Structure 1
Amino acid sequence: MPDQDAPAVVWLRDDLRVSDNPALREAVDSGRPVVVVYVLDDSGDVGRPLGGASRWWLHHSLEALDASLRKRGNRLVLRHGDGAGEIASILEETGAGLLTTSRRYTRGEREQDDRVQRAAEERGVAVSVHTASLLHDPGAVLNGDGERFGVFTPFFRALTRGGAPREPVAAPNAVAPWTGDLRSEDLDDLGLLPIGPDWSAGLGETWTPGEKAAHRRVDEFVHERLARYADQRDEPAAEASSRLSPYLKFGEVSPYQVWHRVQQADVPADIRLKFLTELGWREYDYDLLDAHPDLETVNIHREFDAFPWAEVDDRVLRAWQRGRTGVPLVDAGMRQLWHTGWMHNRVRMVTASFLIKNLRYDWRIGERWFWDTLVDADPANNAAQWQWVAGSGADAAPFFRVFNPVLQGQKFDPRGEYIATWVPELRDLDAKGRHEPWTVPDGPTTGEHPAYPEPIVDLKASRAAALDAYQRMRS
């Protein structure tokens, strides 16, 4: 039997759950008393500090996790500061004999984890690290030549060729506490919630963070949306997407749980595969991050370093950020983002294309805005998706693919229902007017004080200018 004075410390990061948490499971199964720790390390020395919307989510996720642990006889210990230093302090204060945790994948996080592991082992503390937030560790899926895949489709084929991912690990019924005295900070003192002003009302109306809510969301998707996912996933008004991205980002549900839950669904195999492919993109993006640690700032295709970006007009940029561009689908998406911390994936591509190609603003400007405003802002997915639209990423859309926001709206929101939801100034117009309000006589864009602005840029002319800039870069 282990020494009861030598507890197991579980260091949680992107795995804020009790079910399918191998690190927690190992600690409980060791027979040791358990200390469960979360350290808010937002110095920027290890990784990118969370944006405002993600900080809001994290506060409520930690609150839910603590409640779940208390039901099992334990609690969540909170610390704020350098993660390596705080964990070293906790190992010393408790006399721990075991440290368990899950892998992280940004360069700074990996380097910190290596430092923590070396320091712990020097103290005689056993360290166990688990793969829990991805289905595979980046770099593990290789082609026949032992190299990384540069294209998604063969990557996903190779990922699935090895069979189904492991089964999820059951949640412990009880987590025996360590009874020694250990300092824990108050959640409110971490300063995660917005103050002066509190802009998070829309997030609270839209989301319930936490593991319990994550599983409700999985059940709702499997039972009510999955059957129509393949046909309606690109329609923003259809509510066919899973909306699981923030729960996966914070590890309130694991990709293993989602994968197996979807595979068990009573829908055709091709529909299940369509959704699981999106999980595959998440895996692929982390492979990209592993190969390109500066993914959020450095073009994968370095020829784009010479791209002639336009000089930023703060007024124009603010119009894009707040959904006042005069282009209805773009404005609907940006307002949905501002209010809910989330945006439909098809509309993400359209709004990104508008910024990059119609305004010709550097993709990194948009990536930073999304990082701050998305509840699912993810270091791999967010940067990889922006580079995909810009044409500078791996397996990216070519730069000359410019999403026309009017045509995209007419195709994927034909009645303008999504636009009417988020741009109420256009609600009384017919479908054509909602997509092109500037064509409506005496419409909302007319008069001395128009209810809705004219487009801030000519779509046709700006597309031509973007393609000309691309040709100049290539030459």
Structure 2
Amino acid sequence: MARDTTFDGSPAIVWFRNDLRVSDNAALMAAAAHSAVVPVFIRETGSPARPLGAARTWWLHHSLERLAEKLESLGAPLLLLSGDPARIIPDLVKVTGAAAVYWNRRYDPSHKEADAALKAELQAGGLLAESFAGQLLHEPMRLKTGGGTYYKVYSPFWRAMEPGIESRPPLPAPESLPPRPTGADIQSETLASWDLLPVKPDWSGGLRDAWTPGEDGAQARLTDFLENRMRGYADRRDIPGVNATSGLSPHLASGEITPGQIIDALGTADSDASSSDRSKFRKEVGWREFSWHLLANQPGLAEHNHNSRFDAFPWISDRKALYAWQKGLTGYPIVDAGMRELWRTGWMHNRVRMVAASFLTKHLMIDWREGEAWFWDTLVDADPASNAASWQWVAGSGADAAPYFRIFNPVLQGEKFDPDGDYVRRNLPELGKMPARYIHKPWEAPDRVLETAGVRLGETYPKPIVDHQAARQRALAAYQQIKDAA
């Protein structure tokens, strides 16, 4: 990309946000052409943006550690500062004598508006302020339907977007970075002082066992997926008991890897994966793009129903049932296994996410926003777009949503996708000795089977908190109410 080199003899600030990597980082590469580079990450206080949940906050600490190590090795230490970027960035410009500020674009509405205002202020002061793409494969405000509106259905969106996604090859990491100016009096805060890690209690042991935050962890996971798990992906991705998915979503959420890098590696991988495997994986990357397309064009996606008909839906406020769902105590093993996996590892298999979300919104008739908020706090891959869009999709209120009357039967879902009960046993040790025939419906097991398995319903494992058929009929009746009122 050609760019103005007028300021190459002066320092540049590169502002890291949700792009915690040094490769395929256009803002960092632009800064590297200057005589000095000042990398900074700002813990934004007073921002209208939604604060990160607990799991993402844990991830942020470790990701920043890895980024700081990489930048240090390249020659330009990372500054950590807290406050309002609208004040901190101009102050940094004065202290360092920087003539340029670079960053990679964010697309959630509150950040987007603040970034635009800051860019205008910097440019008005004679600075080069430039932003770059990198978080997505497309610019979500630019892609339009033939009618000039944004896309609300995934399939035509993907058909319109997919042909152009190889147009930007990933950038390499810089070989070195010129350090920030000598004599610039800049005092960095310490990561430890930010208190991002949980203490008393430290609940993050399962997260530490499951994940390696940072750019190197992202690249290692991508390589492992392409070499060992991409073959058969189209068929195996829905089976939670096997390790068949990429696990790249939390790395994408923190910007430790870009979708462009993933698509590029997928296209060049020496793998015997089928065209169906590759196509299915590309579509999963595309669903993330669609979610961001929706959020960029519909800022209230996490708060307001996309389909306004659902504004009148008779959601039930039931704190006891909500708690049982959150803690994996519903009495439906596939749901509980997913919620326990989430609590322990900060992640849940996508098929089980759909089943668990359907159970909350349809079996319990609890507002999807309660589930979205819980996932926001507990998922290491929670991002503003995918979390909200996926919850609305399951609830039936979203764009291109699953029909509300599509109510997953948790027993049948378990028997279909976890037929031997491997996933349930891994996450519900109290059901570890249950035979496959009854593991998804232990309440139907004969007493002798329960006794042999060491299961006492209502004591060691809960009885179902709702009856499936009764809950289904209640949900359908509620949906009929809003249809009749429309």
TM-score > 0.5 by shorter chain: yes
Counterpart of 1:227 in structure 2 is 231
Distance in 2 separating the partners of 1:139 and 1:105: 9
Where do 1:152-167 residues align within 5 Å?
A: 152-162=154-164, 164-167=166-169
Distance in 2 separating the partners of 1:288 and 1:355: 23
CA contact (8 A) 1:42 1:48 kept: no
Distance in 1 separating the partners of 2:354 and 2:41: 34
Gaps (5+ residues) in structure 2?
A: none
Counterpart of 1:143 in structure 2 is 145
Counterpart of 1:121 in structure 2 is 123
Q: Would you say 1:204 and 2:213 are equivalent positions?
A: no
CA contact (8 A) 1:42 1:49 kept: no
Distance in 1 separating the partners of 2:328 and 2:278: 34
CA contact (8 A) 2:431 2:455 kept: no
Q: Cα offset for 1:4?
A: 8.2
CA, structure 1 residues 157+453, in 2 after alignment: closer, same or farther (shift >3 Å)? same
**Per-residue CA shift, 1:166-205, capped at 9, x if unaligned?**
1000100101111322121000111211122111111111
Q: Secondary structure at the match of 1:223?
A: helix
What TM-score do the two structures reach when normalised by structure 1? 0.97
Amino acid at match of 1:461: A
Where do 1:270-309 residues align within 5 Å?
A: 270-309=276-315
Match for residue 183 of structure 1 among 151, 165, 187: 187
Q: Would you say 1:362 and 2:367 are equivalent positions?
A: yes
CA, structure 1 residues 448+28, in 2 after alignment: closer, same or farther (shift >3 Å)? closer
What TM-score do the two structures reach when normalised by structure 2? 0.94
CA contact (8 A) 2:306 2:398 kept: yes
Q: Cα offset for 1:447?
A: 5.0
**Per-residue CA shift, 1:271-312, capped at 9, x if unaligned?**
211101011111111110011101001000001000001122
Distance in 2 separating the partners of 1:195 and 1:469: 43
CA contact (8 A) 1:316 1:456 kept: yes
Q: Secondary structure at the match of 2:225?
A: helix
Counterpart of 1:371 in structure 2 is 376
Q: Secondary structure at the match of 2:198?
A: coil
CA, structure 1 residues 96+447, in 2 after alignment: closer, same or farther (shift >3 Å)? closer
Q: Cα offset for 1:107?
A: 1.3
**Per-residue CA shift, 1:66-91, capped at 9, x if unaligned?**
00011111111111122222212212
Q: How many residues align?
A: 472
Q: Secondary structure at the match of 1:411?
A: helix
**Per-residue CA shift, 1:304-352, capped at 9, x if unaligned?**
000001122x222111111111100000000000000000000000000
Distance in 2 separating the partners of 1:163 and 1:233: 23
CA contact (8 A) 1:16 1:211 kept: yes
Counterpart of 1:109 in structure 2 is 111
Q: Secondary structure at the match of 2:80?
A: strand
Distance in 1 separating the partners of 2:227 and 2:167: 22
Amino acid at match of 2:72: R
Counterpart of 1:450 in structure 2 is 459
Q: Secondary structure at the match of 1:38?
A: strand
Counterpart of 1:402 in structure 2 is 407
Q: Secondary structure at the match of 2:231?
A: helix
Counterpart of 1:33 in structure 2 is 36
Q: Secondary structure at the match of 1:375?
A: coil
CA contact (8 A) 2:443 2:457 kept: no
Aligned residues: percent identity?
A: 48
CA, structure 1 residues 199+439, in 2 after alignment: closer, same or farther (shift >3 Å)? same
Distance in 1 separating the partners of 2:278 and 2:48: 37
CA contact (8 A) 2:7 2:100 kept: no
Q: Cα offset for 1:403?
A: 0.8
Distance in 2 separating the partners of 1:166 and 1:269: 22
Amino acid at match of 1:173: E
Distance in 2 separating the partners of 1:67 and 1:472: 57
CA contact (8 A) 1:8 1:34 kept: yes
CA contact (8 A) 1:104 1:110 kept: yes
Gaps (5+ residues) in structure 1?
A: none
Q: Cα offset for 1:146?
A: 2.7
CA contact (8 A) 2:15 2:41 kept: yes
